Amino acid sequence: MENLELQKVANEVRKGIITSVHAAKAGHPGGSLSAAEVFTYLYFEEMDIDPKDPDKADRDRFVLSKGHTAPGLYAALASRGFFPVEDLKTLRKIGSYLQGHPCLQHTPGVDMSSGSLGQGISAAVGMAVSAKMSNESYRVYTLVGDGEIQEGQVWEAAMFAGHWKLDNLVVIVDNNGLQIDGKIDEVCSPYPIDEKFRAFNFHVINVEDGNDFDALRAAFKEAREIKGMPTALVLKTVKGKGVSYMENQAGWHGKAPNDEEYKIAMEELEKAGEALCQK
Partner 1 sequence: MPEVKKIATREGYGEMLVELGKEHDNLVVLDADLAAATKTSMFQKEFPERHIDCGIAECNMMGIAAGLAATGKVPFASSFAMFATGRAFEQVRNSIAYPHLNVKIGASHAGISVGEDGASHQCNEDIALMRIIPGMTIINPSDYIEAKAAVRAAYEIDGPVYLRFGRLAVPVINDKPGYKFELGKGIILKEGTDVTIVATGLCVASALEAAEKLEADGISAEVINIHTIKPLDTEIIVNSAKKTGKVVTAEEHTVVGGLGSAVCDCLCEHAPVPVCKIGIYDVFGESGPALGLLVKYGLDGQGVYEKVKSFVK
Judged by the rule CB under 8 A, the positions of this chain that interact with partner 1 are 57, 61, 63, 103-105, 111-113, 115-116, 118-131, 133-134, 152-153, 156-157, 159-160, 163
Nearest residue (CB) to partner 1, 115 versus 257: 115
CB of 60: closest distance to partner 1 in angstroms? 12
Among 112, 115, 116, residue whose Cα is nearest residue 125: 112
Nearest residue (CB) to partner 1, 123 versus 215: 123
CB of 235: closest distance to partner 1 in angstroms? 23
Nearest residue (CB) to partner 1, 12 versus 60: 60
CA–CA gap between residue 78 and residue 13 (Å, rounded): 9
CB of 106: closest distance to partner 1 in angstroms? 10
Cα–Cα distance list, 1 to 12, 42, 82, 99, 147 (Å): 15, 12, 18, 30, 31
Nearest residue (CB) to partner 1, 135 versus 278: 135
CB of 110: closest distance to partner 1 in angstroms? 9
**Residue 161 backbone dihedrals phi, psi, to 5 degrees:** -65, -40
Nearest residue (CB) to partner 1, 90 versus 113: 113
Q: Where are the alpha helices (DSSP H) in the chain?
A: 3-24, 29-34, 36-41, 70-80, 120-133, 152-163, 184-187, 193-199, 213-225, 259-277
- Cβ partners under 8 Å of residue 209, min gap 6: 215, 236
CB of 122: closest distance to partner 1 in angstroms? 2
